[in-house]
Structures are given as C-alpha cells and as structure tokens.
Amino acid sequence: MIYGNNIEYLEGLDSMNNLKELLIHRNRIRSLNYLAMPNLQSLVKINASYNQLAQSELDNIAHVTLHLYNLKQLDLYGNDVFSSPAYKYRITENSSLEKLDGLDVKGVVKDRLDRLRKDWQVNYLIEETSEEAKKWIEAERELKGAALNILAKKQERITQEFESYKKTVDEQAFHFLFHFSDVLNFITYISDLKQQRNQGVSDKITFESLNNWRHNITYQENQRLDMLEDSLRQLEDKRKEEMEEVVTTTHFLDKLHEVSMQKPDIWNYMKNEEYKNSKLDQNRNTPKLPNQKLLSFQANNRGVDNMLKSGIRATGNRFKNDVQEENIVNKDDFTDQANRELQLKENFEKNSQYFSQSKRGKNMNQSGNLQPMSPQKYENDIGNPNNISYNRGQGNSFLEQFKSDPAPLNASINNKNQSIRQKQMPIPIEFQDPDNQTIAKASGNPVRQQPGQSGIRASQQPPQANKDAKSCLIF
C-alpha cells in the first residue's frame, strides 16, 4: 500500500510476480501503462482513484485491463477519465472484471453494458466514418476546384488567343482575300477550336453550374450582410437621436441658467409668461360653475376681501398711532432729561459760585474743592441739621431751591404719568359688514390672554349695531 503520497511513477514492479492488490490511490499518477507486464497477471484488485489520469488515457487503460485477465475489481473514480462518456464501455471489455468503481458489472448489468458497448461502437464507427467522409468530400471539393481553375485558365487562354487571332484577321483582312492558303489556315484553326469546345462540353457545364452556385451563395451572403448593416444603422441612428436629445436638453438648461444669471429681467419676463400660460391652461381645463354657485362663490369672495381690507386698514391705523405715541413719549422723555441735566448744571454752578465767594468756607482749598473733614466735625454737623453748616455748603438753602422752583420736577412727573396712561389706552375694534356700508367702532379694556388657551380674544363684546354684520378683530 503506497497510497496518500505524491507519487507520479511506480518503479520496481517487474520483480513482483505474486502481487494481487495494488493500492495507489490519492497520488499524482498520470499513466498506468507500466502495469501491462507479464509478471503482473496475478493482480486481482487495483485502486487508482483520486489521481491525475486524463481522459486521453482511456485507450491505454482499456488496453492494460485487457492484459490483466485475472483482474476482478478496478477503482478509477476521482480522475478526469472517470467523466468520459465511453469510460464504462471501454473498461468493461475485460470479461473477468466484476466490480468497477464499487459497482457490480456482472450478470444482467454485464449484458446491458455489452449491448450498450456495441451500440456505442456502432455510433463511434459512424462518427469516424462521417469524419472520414467529410475529409474525402472536402478533398474532392478541393480537387474539383483545382480542376475548374485549370479549366477556367485554359478557356481564358483560348479566348485571348482567339481575340488576338481575330484582331490579326481584321488587320490583315485584305491579305486573306488574296492569299488562299491563309484562308485555309484560318478555317483549320476554327475547326480545331470548335473540336476543342465540343470535347469540353461537360467541363463547361460543370463550370457554369459552379459559377451559378457561387453566385447564389454570394447573393445570399450579401443579403444577410445588408440586413445586418441596416439593423446596425437603425441602432446607431436611434442612439444618435437619444444622444442629441440629451445634449439638446443639457444645452437648453445651461442657456436658461446663463439667462437667469446674466439677464434677470428677461428671466422674470419668461417666468411671468409661463405663469400666465399655466393659469390660462388651468382656467380652460377647469369646469365652469353654474350661475347660482357662481354668485354664491363671488359673494363669499367679496365678503372675505372686505374683511381682509378692513383688517389691513385697521392694522395700518393702529401701527400709525403706535408710532406717533412712541415718538411723543420719546420726545417728552428727552425734554425731561434735558431739563433735569440743565437744572443740575445750574445748581452746581450756583454752589460753586457760593463756595468760592463765601468767607466761612473753612473746608475749601484754593481751587474751590471741598476738603475731607474729621469724624468729630462730621458728627457735630449731623447732630445739628437745622442750622447752617459750613461743612454741608448751603445747608437748608440748597433744598429750598427745589421748593422755590418745582416746575422741572413736576413737568417730568406729569410727562411720565401721561405716557403711562397713553400706553394703557384700550385697543380699538372695528366691525364691518360685507357690503362695506356700515362701520361700527368700539373701544374697551386692553386685550388679555386667557390662561389655558392657544390664542387671544377680546374680553369685551362688540356693540349690537348690526346683527347681520361680520366682525373682524384686529390686533
């Protein structure tokens, strides 16, 4: 047993005269020709599975098995030769073989394989005969073609000679009238040419039939090529049309993009025209309403338009009033602030002038600024607030200036109260009927947002001036 190795060739079998089993499976053996030895006639079992036996080795393997007349079992599965169609028929030609690749090949199976082998042999002979016949037919065709070529060349040569002779006769026609011998020679040549043509009648017919057959084949092939060219031409035209459509669309989009970027006026005009055309198409495709439904639709639209107009008008008035009130408040605040700053500046100048002219300013330095005093002096000064204090400048007379002239302070307070009252004024509400005939105005408390709701509503009911009027609340 030498299986399971990388053996490619077996050596030393010539000395094994009593070898009965040969297990050489799972190797790299490519041929079994060395088993056809006289000293190996005692082989009963051969296992050469899973090797590298190609299909071309089938004849050699069949020859080896025929020489081993004591062989009972043969295993060749796992090789390429195992997939050959004639594998079973060729191997089972050995009458002593009982098992092939683990299957019994004796009894009924043996008979069946013998019949199939005979059929296969007949088919094989037919195939071989067909191949040989094809070769003979091809050889005959080539031979006939060569003969026809020779005949064609011969006929062409005769034609050329005749044309040359005819030309010579035409040139020397006058001499033929006076030279009888030349005329006889001409007649002799014509008779010879006629005799040659009579001898080659069958060749001429064969040549003409071959030309006709060749002409028909050429004609059919040309028709097929023309059909293929027409199909290819149609496909190419279709592909070009599709490419032109894609290119045209791409160029058109590029041009539109260029127009929109470089000439926006033309682009807007184009889009407006497109919108008008789409609206016209939509109106044409929209079915017309009956007269009653049309009147109802127009009335509803008129009511909605009136409500929108009244809402826009009220919103504009409200915005205008808010802007005016804000301007007035800002103007009053600015005036009030300016008056206060002016008054403070005047008071500071009076105090500075008083301190600079007073002889009792003991805490003043030469530049007119106050000097820091000691804690004892400050405590004495605070303990006597009703008297005039040198440390506090003018004392009570400083506060009396505001009492004597309270106009700026009162004006500031009044302006502030007025702005607060103006901001708390109620929101005006307008009510307008659909026909824009009666307008009712009302004012109430400021609108407040009700808790737990997503919108805003007025806390005051509108006046019942017109029950049929539709109301519009403007915020």
pTM greater than 0.75 (yes/no): no
- Dihedral angle computed from the Cα positions of residues 216, 221, 227 and 229, in that order, rounded to the nearest 10 degrees: -140
pLDDT tens for each residue of 186-201: 566 556 656 666 665 4
Q: How far apart are CA 472 and CA 475, in angstroms?
A: 10
Give CA–CA dist 350/266, Å, rounded.
74
- Torsion sign (Cα): 389, 391, 394, 400: negative
Distance CA 46, CA 40 (A): 11
**Could you give the CA distance from residue 240 to residue 231 in angstroms, rounded to a whole number?**
14
Q: What is the mean pLDDT of residues 56-65?
A: 88
CATH number of 13-106: 3.80.10.10
For 123, residues 6+ apart whose C-beta sits below 8 A from its C-beta are none
Token pair of 267 as six digits: 């682009």
pLDDT digits over 67-89, tens only? Answer: 888 899 999 999 999 988 778 77
Q: Say which residue the tokens 């301190």 belong to.
A: 355
pLDDT of 172 > 50? The answer is yes
Q: Tens digit of pLDDT for each residue in 298-343?
A: 555 566 566 666 667 777 777 677 666 666 656 666 677 777 778 8
Chain segment 112-169, per-residue pLDDT in tens: 666 666 665 555 555 665 566 677 777 777 777 777 788 788 778 877 877 777 777 6
Nearest residue to 246 via CA among 355, 238, 134, 415:
238
In the chain, CATH 3.80.10.10 covers 13-106
**Helices 180-199/108-171 angle, 10° precision:** 170
Q: Which residues pair with 441 in a beta bridge?
A: 430
